[in-house]
Amino acid sequence: MSTKTIATTRSATGVPTGRLAVWWVLVSEIVIFGGLLVSYIMHRLGHPEWAEEASHTNTWAGAFNTLVLLSSSLSAVLAHKAASHGDGKRAAALLRVTVLGGLVFLVVKSFEWTHEIREGFTLQAGGFWSYYYTAAGLHAFHVIAGMGLMLWVAGTAAKNEELHRVENVGIYWHFVDMVWIFLFPLLYIAK
Amino acid sequence: MTGHAHTEAHAHPNYVKIWAILVVLLVVSVTGPMLGVRVVTLIAAFGIALVKAYLVAKNFMHLNVEKPVVHWALGVALTLMVLLYAGLAPDVQRSKGERWEKSAGFHYMSDAARGAMEHEGHGDKPAGH
């Protein structure tokens, strides 16, 4: 007979171990995205001419993707609510809806990038575009990672197992949403 | 751990209502800058982004009921961001200081952008251009 011996809650903090780990990851993510965004803001303020380059980004595509991510955050938090009521099947279904939102986000992004690259706005087209592709690309990587994690958690949640993971993966997804909330005005609105 | 062992008692707010507020804020952040007023653009874009982030953190991530250790950890990371900016911005955003001046090409600025800055009365011209 196999047993799992795990510390489910850290006595020093009072936070469940899994959730504490997610917050720890997010703290390091703040440093990663924070460094990138602060660096972008500094250079943007030092280069007023970047406004002209930024004018080529598609505000409506960025706004639509913001709506998609906000909506996917809603389904993620509703999944957490379902899990807290012990309804693993509903939680799994809502997590899969969240994954669908991530997929829509990436499809829109890929169309957007294809158009911009065809117009000549490549990674090497200028300082603004270097930051644009680096920041949005790093964010898209996090969206992909979140989608994978969510599908995995949905698989166990559907069997009413490890339901605490639903909240944990949701916290990560909301962070990804929050990063986009700041990327949107920085890359699409400030022109 | 089985399905029910994780549950911690905290009230669930009306998530759909919060989502609706976030969508309204998104609409304002897109339409506000269309007025073409710089102050309105800054408030609509970045002020609203802060409000949206606050709503997501408080209601979706449940930071309002999270333990202090999490707040402290996040606070330290955010403080590092501010320190990074404060430490580097004077070098990155300016072309010259009291005892230093960037060499030509370090801080490239197009003729059009430089003209616009000079027109607005900024005296801090980039070196070599």
What is the predicted ipTM?
A: 0.91
A 120-159: CB under 8 A from B = none
Tens digit of pLDDT for each residue in A79-125? 999 999 999 999 999 999 999 999 999 999 999 999 999 999 999 99
Which pLDDT belongs to residue B96? 78
Q: Give how far A89 is from chain B: nearest CA, Å.
A: 11
Which pLDDT belongs to residue B42? 84
> What is the average pLDDT across B104-109?
59
C-alpha closest to that of B47 among A82, A119, A185? A185
- CB contacts of A13 in chain B (<8 Å) are 67, 69-70
- CB contacts of B8 in chain A (<8 Å) are 16, 84
The amino acid occupying position A36 is L
Q: CA A65, CA A63: separation in Å to the nearest integer? A: 5
Q: Give how far B94 is from chain A: nearest CA, Å.
A: 7
- CB contacts of B46 in chain A (<8 Å) are 185
Tens digit of pLDDT for each residue in A123-132? 999 899 999 9
C-alpha closest to that of A51 among A184, A191, A189, A185? A191
Q: Where does the pLDDT of residue A165 fall: very low under 50, low under 70, confident under 90, or very high at 90 and above?
A: very high
Which pLDDT belongs to residue B73? 95
More confident: A122 or A48: A122
Tens digit of pLDDT for each residue in B73-94? 999 999 999 999 999 888 888 7
Q: Which two tokens stand for residue B56?
A: 């997501």
In which region does residue A126 sit, left (phi positive, over 0), alpha (psi from -120 to 50) or beta (all else)? left
Residues in chain B, total: 129
Which option is the CATH number for A17-189: 3.30.720.110, 2.160.20.10, 1.10.357.10, 1.20.120.80? 1.20.120.80
Touching check for B66 and chain A: CB below 8 Å? yes
